[in-house]
Structure 1
Amino acid sequence: MKTIQLYRDKDRKWLYISEKQILNKPLVFVFGNRYLLEEPNIYKDINKIFPDGDIILGSTAGEILGNNVYDETVSVTAIEFEKSSFIIHSKNVKNYDGNFQKLGEDLSSEFPKNSLKHLFIVSEGSTVNGSTLIDGLEKNLSKNILISGGLCGDDARFEKTLASYNSLPKEGEVVAIGFYGEALEITCANYGGWTTFGPERTITKSKDNILYELDDKPALDLYKKYLGDKANELPQAALLYPLNLRLKGSNETLVRTILNIDENNNTMILAGDVPEGSTVQLMMSSVDDIAEGASKAAFYAMKNRTKKPELSLLVSCVGRKLVMDQRTEDEIEEVIEVIGKQSVTAGFYSYGELSPFAGQNDCKLHNQTMTLTLISE
């Protein structure tokens, strides 16, 4: 495996953090600030550097490159696989009228199943219901093919997100990369580091990812009551106080971030499904807890590996970044300490993370976690 990493800030000068070399038909991950990705020449500039590359673009709430976290940049990680291969397909939500499960089904059906090892997703993050997207993706895959990735971000603005494959970035795009080859070893894991507080309340009215009522009371009113003065800062303030979701009839819990609020209907729109009969509880965290959570995610991802990773794709939640503030890089350093400095590290801060729980095969939508996908040949 050969790699090149570089980035560009608002001054439009490309800076390499690795040695320049010629790559043959590389996979090129481009993670960047939404405003910079909207510049008309950005795709052309990257295509000029990697004329035979397969280029994936995704907007972020912060870029991870090496052991650093950047804001308002465009980061590039290009990979030439020497013993394996990849195939890329994409779909757009505008062609599916809100049927995210059908989009997922159609997308995963396009991948040949022979020698498919893993599916990595870079998805639009503004409107997609990540839970139903995963359901659709998994319908055409065998249990041993794992899915990981993330929902694109837009800092803490929640205005729109962008993604694309070999084209100018656009709204509504969902991109999937299928990795192939017997030489590949790919593992993934996630962990949060958040603590619950306050009463546990039952979801009495919801539809998909829209939360209407808790304990037969308007959910948004209750949430604002707990936030106090911070309610004036919604929806951004919700990133600091996500919901711990306990599914009905199960001990399994998931974290759900509030992506937006609807004042007219007194509802909250979350990144994934919130089924009726499930319970939710507020969560909070600290800098140290989040850093420790990142370390645990790395430990779980490394636990059953036979080889050290050569490439590590990190997807962490924008809410974690807001809590960490000036110490955001602490969680990246914790990850690198576990996975080793031999690995090339890249990724982004997201509106949602996709990964199975450690030791499981079924992919889940997570919020407020550090998610790792570790790759070696």
Structure 2
Amino acid sequence: MQIFQRIFTASNRPHFDALPVHRQNQLILVFGSTALLSDSGHFDAIRSAFPGGLVVGCSTAGEIHGTEVSDDTLVVTEVNFEHTRLHFSQGHIVDSSQSFAVGLALAESLPADELVHVLVFSDGLHVNGTALVRGMREGLPPHVEITGGLSADGARFQKTLVCANDVPAPNQVAVVGLYGDRIKVGYGSLGGWDPFGPEREITRAQGTVLFDLDRKPALELYKRYLGEHAAGLPATGLLFPLALRHPEMVGGTHGGSSSVVRTILGIDEELGSMTFAGDMPEGGYVRLMKANFERLIDGASGAARISMQPLQDQSAQLALLISCVGRKLVLKQRVEEEVESVRDVLGDQAVFTGFYSYGEISPHMAGDACELHNQTMTITTLFEN
């Protein structure tokens, strides 16, 4: 596996001095701001440089390259596999109710023979990430896992874009299947948030929309806890996610907890409701959470350690880091510390790429079922022998 990385800014349109030779099984990962990805000229430049490459990626709330985190940049990572085959598929989501069907169709479109792993990059605003993952799990062989994330738009929540081997556009889902016995894939996902306040029952909800907690309007209760922060919703909701626990959840039991974290994508003042990136099932229980700086960084390094376990003592060549926009807003000027903590675990030989997202897709660790997460650092490590 050969990997090359470049970073561009708004004043520095993508330009590649020495065009690479045409390669098979070439994956071009592209992560950038909504503004830069909205300029089709950037994609055209990348396509011209890599005419035979599979170009996928998405808009972000911050780009990761090496141990640096930047905003309003375009990070292009060229991954040349020597023995691993790639298969690409894309879907279109207009409404979150389509998420399960799109996920199932995408999974079934990937040939099953020798499929090892699936990467997914999805629209971040119109998707039910829980249903998308559930559909993909149903359509994939049991041994094949999924990692990836939901595209972002900073803290604006207005428009997210996915590059599905074409000009980046909204409402897209891109998946890449990795094939062959020479590719080893690891993954890990951890948070680091502290719960506080009472646990409350979800008494009225529909899909990703939460209406009532303990038979009281959910938005009203949430605002009461947020106090002065309520005026900045939905963006300030990223600072106070909810831990969701449900008896039928399949997200695994890492750390003795069968819970996942949910953050707000939008609110409806008239209905008193809150919309999340994943399911908020009736009969489930939620509890408010707040940031603990050191635990967030420890969570990132913990995810890195978990992601190394399936590589069987091999050093990762590529590390795909997908962290939540809420973590970035909390850590602020310390945001690079969580990336540096991952470097401390994985070492200097791995090329880092990734982004800050509206949702992370991964099992917590090997043996757990894949789920949509919020407020985690999710890491996918790759090694080709």
TM-score, normalised to structure 2, is 0.94
Match of 2:176 in 1: 177
Q: Is the 8 A contact 2:194 2:292 kept in 1?
A: no
Unaligned runs of 5+ in 2: 250-256
Match of 2:307 in 1: 301
Cα 1:361–1:22 shift into 2, 3 Å: farther
Match of 1:363 in 2: 370
* Match status 1:266 vs 2:265: no
Match of 2:261 in 1: 255
What SS is found at the alignment partner of 2:97? Answer: coil
Show CA shifts across 1:143-172 (max 9, x none).
210011000000000001000222111110
Fraction of identical pairs, as percent: 41
Match of 2:212 in 1: 213
Q: Give the Å deviation of 1:14.
A: 4.6
Match of 1:100 in 2: 99
Q: Is the 8 A contact 2:297 2:337 kept in 1?
A: yes
Q: Give the Å deviation of 1:210.
A: 0.6
Distance 1:138 1:121 in 2: 12
Show CA shifts across 1:262-310 (max 9, x none).
1111100011001111110100113222111100101111124211111
Distance 1:258 1:117 in 2: 33
What SS is found at the alignment partner of 2:199? Answer: strand
* Match status 1:344 vs 2:351: yes
Show CA shifts across 1:301-358 (max 9, x none).
1124211111111100000000110111101110011111111110010000000121
Q: Is the 8 A contact 1:23 1:79 kept in 2?
A: no
Q: Give the Å deviation of 1:199.
A: 1.0
* Match status 1:45 vs 2:45: yes
Partner amino acid, structure 2, of 1:175: A
Match of 1:275 in 2: 281
Q: Is the 8 A contact 2:187 2:307 kept in 1?
A: yes
Q: How many residues align?
A: 375
Distance 1:312 1:248 in 2: 33
Match of 1:198 in 2: 197
Could you tell which deviates more after superposition, 245-254 or 206-215?
Answer: 245-254
Unaligned runs of 5+ in 1: none
Match of 2:252 in 1: none
Q: Give the Å deviation of 1:40.
A: 2.7
Distance 1:67 1:91 in 2: 32
Q: Over aligned residues, Cα RMSD in angstroms? A: 1.7
Distance 1:21 1:40 in 2: 21
Distance 2:377 2:146 in 1: 15
1:320 corresponds, among 316, 319, 327, to 327
1:372 corresponds, among 373, 376, 379, to 379
Partner amino acid, structure 2, of 1:261: I
